[in-house]
Structure 1
Amino acid sequence: MGHKENVNKLIDENIVEIHKLIQKKIEIWSDYVVFSGLWWLGVGLSVIPWIIWYVFRKKNSTDRILYAGLFIMTISLALDILGDQFSLWHYRYNVLPIVPTYFPWDITLMPVSVMILLQVKANGNPFIKAILFGLFSAYLAEPFFHWLEIYVPTKWRYTYSVPIQIIIYLVAHYLSRREKFSPIYQKK
């Protein structure tokens, strides 16, 4: 058997093992997690912040703020998946069993928090807001989810998150201020 065939065989065997583990994860989730108190908390944290943002958002800034929010979702998911895959942390009580990240954090809490901060005191110093966001996320939100035993850092310290959260906020701030979009269609 050639080198390529050996590699293909190893990859295929690994995929079979991963599939078995995912099936076991779904079984544990359906037997113990779904409809538990922490599962319902995750569902609430996935929906309620969006409702609050929708009601209190600045209507004339919706598109601009959602643009920044989409960036936050994308980067949060990507970094969370990397952290999980490198065993820096993992999550329990997932809202969805096959998502390796904590859905409410990446899809709701991070983007909605930033979108609200972008609108509150919109002309305020973005560096101060970024630092406050980084400190709050790292030293209040992460420990809270750790205390609930939803978030389990294994090789990660809260302090590592601070500069990452600051950069994420500053990029979102920058994106929310962009105005150079050309029209998609010609006005008649």
Structure 2
Amino acid sequence: MDKKTLVGEKQLERVGEIHNKVFEANKEYLNYWLHNTFLHWDFWLSFVFTVAPWVVFIIVRKKTSTHRLLYVGLFAIFLSSWFDFLGVMYGLWYYTGKVFPSMPSYMPWDFSILPVFIMLLIQFKPNMKAHWKGVFFATVGTCIGEPFFKWLGFYVTLKWNGWYSFAIYFFIYVSCHRLSRVSNFDLIE
């Protein structure tokens, strides 16, 4: 350990101990995943949930809006992954059947289903009020998506009421919708 830091040696050692616990837990989970998830039915179903929404998007997207929609989709991935990361980190829920064992969140949900659903909602019925689409998006996520993934056993809540998700989904959709309406950016000179 480098002794020339502004952080005290005791703090470095303590954080190092915590890091080692996290590292060991990740190693244990990787071993579990390799033997109990990888190439099993739950892995393949999660893989389909990861790929299928993007195939649908490629087929039905409005070609002239592709860049704008992908920009919004990337922002949706960022928001949903961050909220999901916080929920897993604070022990509110966890996931099984992961495509990748290193991701704390459920990749099909955060990287495929939610962003593609948002992009398609933005594309279709463009004159509909954003808050109504946000309510629809939040309702589908809370009342259909989450219960379905719980039923599959992929999503396990610990200290979480599903209705809290409604506000988060609404916020994510409305934020993405607002971003989709940006007409241009200032040029940097």
Fold in common (TM above 0.5): yes
Whether 1:24 aligns to 2:3 is: no
1:71 is the counterpart of 2:70: no
Determine helix, strand or coil for the equivalent of 1:121.
coil
Is 1:158–2:162 an aligned residue pair? yes
- Deviation of 1:183 (Å): 5.3
- Decide which of 41, 47, 53 is 1:43's aligned counterpart: 47
Cα distance in 1 between the residues matched to 2:71 and 2:25: 36
Aligned-partner Cα distance in 2 for 1:183–1:60:
22
Of 139, 151, 168, 1:135 maps to 139
Match of 2:15 in 1: 11
Q: Which residue of 1 aligns with 2:56?
A: 52
Return structure 1 stretches of 4+ with deviation > 3 angstroms: 182-185
- Amino acid paired to 1:109: I
Aligned residue pairs total: 183
Report the Cα offset of residue 4 of structure 1.
2.1
Alpha-carbon separation, structure 1, partners of 2:72 and 2:38: 31
Given candidates 120, 125, 140, the residue that maps to 1:121 is 125
Larger mean CA deviation between 3-12 and 130-139 belongs to: 3-12
Separation in 2, partners of 1:171, 1:16: 37
Gaps of 5+ in 1: none
Distance 1:167 1:97 in 2: 28
Deviation at 1:145, TM superposition (A): 0.4
Q: Distance in 1 between matches of 2:105 and 2:131?
A: 28
Secondary structure of 2:114's aligned partner: helix
Using the size of structure 1 for normalisation, the TM-score is 0.93
Residue type of the alignment partner of 1:125: K
Percent identity for Structure 1 against Structure 2: 34
1:158 alignment partner AA: G
- Which consecutive unaligned segments of at least 5 residues does structure 2 have? 1-6
Match of 1:181 among 177, 181, 185: 185
Distance in structure 1 (CA, Å) of the matches to 2:183 and 2:129: 19
Distance in structure 2 (CA, Å) of the matches to 1:165 and 1:97 = 25
CA RMSD of aligned residues (A): 1.4
The CA distance in 2 between the partners of 1:158 and 1:139, in whole Å, is 8
